Amino acid sequence: MSKALERREKLRESLILAAERSIAARGLAGLKTRELAREIGCANGAVYNLVEDMDELILRVGSRTLERLDAALTDAESKGATSPGETLVRIAIAYCDFAADNLELWRALFEHRMTPGKPIPDWAVDQQMDLFRHIYRPLATLFPKRPAAELGVTARSLFSAVHGMVALGLEQKLIAVPIEALRNEITSIVRAMIDGLALAARQGSAN
C-alpha cells in the first residue's frame, strides 16, 4: 500500500470511530460532518473522500455495532443449558442487555433510513441476515421436521417480537420498565412462544 493510501485508510478509520463516539453520545440526529472533520483534523469536504456519503458512514458504524452484537449472541448461545428453548431465552436476554448497554448505537441500527431510492448495499444486508443464525439454529433443533423457509419465518417473528419488547421497554415512554423486570418479561414470553409453537407442532403432526 502506498503511503498516501495508508494515510487515507487510517483517516477513514478515525472518521468511523469519531462517528461511532458521536452516535453513542448524542444519537443519530446529533451526527454532524463538520464536527467529525474537525475531530479527525481534515477539511469538511475531505470527509467525502473517505466515505461515499453519510449513509455509508452510518452503515460502517452499524457494522461495528453488529459485530459486537454477534459476539454477545455467540457468547450467550454457548453458555448455560444446552436445551434449545433455554438457548433462545438466553439469546433474547443477551439482545436485551446489549441494547440497554449500547442504547444509542443500537437505536441507530433501526432509525437510520437510506437516502430515498438508494438500496442498502449487499454487504450490510448480508451481515444483518447472518445474525439470524443465532435464532435459526436452536429453532432447527427444536423443530427438525420443519422446512428451512418456514424456520426462517419463525426466526424472524421471534426476533421481531423480542425486539418489540426491548424497544418499547427501553423507551423513556409510558411502557418503560426496570431492566430486571424487562428481562423477566422477555423470559416468560419467549418460553410461552416456544412452548406454544411446540404444542402446535405436536398437534399438527398428530392430525
The 70-109 site mask, x for binding a copy of itself (CB under 8 A), equals: ----------------------------------------
Answer for which of 36, 65, 105, 169 binds a copy of itself (CB under 8 A) is 169
202 near a copy of itself (CB under 8 A):
no
Q: Is 19 in the site for a copy of itself (CB under 8 A)?
A: no
Evaluate whether 31 touches 19 at the Cβ level (below 8 Å): yes
Distance CA 179, CA 183 (A): 6
DSSP character for 117? T
Pairwise CA distance, residues 183 & 169, whole Å: 10
* Amino acid identity, position 71: A
Candidate ranges 6-14, 60-68, 97-105, 173-181; the one touching a copy of itself (CB under 8 A): 173-181
Asked if 151 and 139 touch (Cβ cutoff 8 Å), the reply is yes
Residue from the set 194, 205, 206, 207 that interacts with a copy of itself by CB under 8 A:
194
130 binds a copy of itself (CB under 8 A): no
Q: How far is the CB of 91 from a copy of itself (least distance, A)?
A: 15
Q: Tell me if 201 sits within 8 A of 141, measured CB to CB.
A: no
DSSP character at residue 118: P
Rama region for 41: left / alpha / beta (φ>0; ψ in -120 to 50; rest): left
CB atoms within 10 A of CB 129: 10
| The binder of a copy of itself chosen from 181, 183, 205, 207 (CB under 8 A) | 181
Distance (Å, rounded) from C-alpha 118 to C-alpha 98?
Answer: 29
Which part of the chain contacts a copy of itself (CB under 8 A), choosing from 16-24, 59-67, 136-144, 158-166?
158-166
Task: Report how far residue 32's alpha carbon sits from residue 48's, in angstroms, rounded to the nearest whole number.
Answer: 13
Report, in Å, the least distance between residue 4 CB and a copy of itself.
Answer: 36
Residue 176 interacts with a copy of itself (CB under 8 A)?
no
Point out which residues bind a copy of itself (CB under 8 A): 110, 120, 125, 128-129, 153, 156-165, 167-169, 171, 173-175, 177, 181, 185-186, 188-189, 191-197, 199-200
